[in-house]
Structure 1
């Protein structure tokens, strides 16, 4: 997840911060979590601490706890695109598609350059079977990250869900130019035969 600004200060804050980071570096996640919880008790409105706690809880699979921290974060930093993205990202993992969509849209409104927010928006729309809107969002993502296969993969799947086999085939042929393994996977999943042509969607 993206990082956000911090507002803690003082020697105690930075000593605890580096202690927590050292625990994470050593793989001592429980000790890092306890340190950040201690920091939160002392600096309850610190964005860095809230984001760090959310990251740890999400990594531990405790998505509901991560969401609680992230809700506090966006309440404290409502103009932060990354904060909204991170909340939406976890909500999408929880399959809360409508609220995730709102979060991704807010992130895009604040910072349109967050390419992953366009990708996440596409996923949230796919969960709601709003495939045409999802394709539009995924096109924005692939414009920003043309060599990343993820947006192209989801775009091809969305075209198939709409019954647009030819459009899906064009995306697959485009992928073959730089991600042949992903293209081959899509061919297996969709039943679209191979082709040596490479078209740009």
Structure 2
């Protein structure tokens, strides 16, 4: 069987194995695909995904590092690497990977959000506000970025800005706005006013 047919046969087998929940066997097929095509983007990305699902973060990170080395212009691969690095507690590597994803695809809202969460954990609130503003510009109807933005304003001791966000959320996500009022003690009724 020639290389092209062998590759497609292995890919079909891997897909069938994944459908039936046989991830370990599918990993073997991805490894065989990589023997035929050592830098195959599909096999590298699929292998990383399955390893991450299995909870093998270190191996998934290694697979993603190999993927971005072979395909440095793939924003999604950089985002996935950043996500896995952060999930593994490797913030020093995660931030540059998020930033590389955003260099390649400035409208990747999930990368802005991931970067913002990392910056929040590092208590770099001013930078987090900027990242969250980009996220909410790109995803104006998603409550997640708005929620984090309000929380960061509270952490920055800027209740007036947090109240503005809560008011904005009341228009399309009243439950999230109410949750923020409970958690922060702020009321959307008046800027910077505590409810208790």
Answer whether contact 1:138 1:155 (CA < 8 A) is retained. Answer: yes
Which runs of no fewer than 5 residues in structure 1 stay unpaired?
1-8
Q: Structure 1 residue 147: deviation in Å? A: 0.9
Secondary structure of the structure 1 residue equivalent to 2:172: coil
Q: Is it true that 1:166 corresponds to 2:176 in the alignment?
A: no
Distance 1:142 1:164 in 2: 19
Q: Structure 1 residue 46: deviation in Å? A: 1.0
Distance 2:181 2:23 in 1: 40
Q: Is it true that 1:186 corresponds to 2:180 in the alignment?
A: yes
Answer whether contact 2:112 2:131 (CA < 8 A) is retained. Answer: yes
- Aligned residue in 2 for 1:95: 89
Q: Is it true that 1:177 corresponds to 2:168 in the alignment?
A: no
- 1:82-129: per-residue Cα shift (whole Å, max 9, x none)? 221111111121232232111111111112121211111111211211
Runs of 4+ in structure 1 off by over 4 angstroms are 194-197
User: For 1:20-59, what aligned pairs fall within 5 Å after superposition?
Assistant: 20-59=14-53
Distance 1:182 1:11 in 2: 52
Match of 2:80 among 86, 97, 104: 86
Which runs of no fewer than 5 residues in structure 2 stay unpaired?
192-196
Q: What's the Cα RMSD here?
A: 2.0
Q: 1:167 to 1:75 in 2, by over 3 A?
A: same
- Aligned residue in 1 for 2:148: 154
- Aligned residue in 1 for 2:61: 67
Distance 2:9 2:190 in 1: 58
- Aligned residue in 2 for 1:130: 124
With normalisation by structure 1, the TM-score equals 0.85
More moved, 126-135 vs 167-176 = 167-176
Q: Structure 1 residue 151: deviation in Å? A: 1.0
Q: May I ask how many residue pairs the two structures share in their alignment? A: 189
Secondary structure of the structure 1 residue equivalent to 2:141: coil
Answer whether contact 1:97 1:125 (CA < 8 A) is retained. Answer: no
Bigger-Rg structure (1/2):
2
Q: Structure 1 residue 194: deviation in Å? A: 5.5
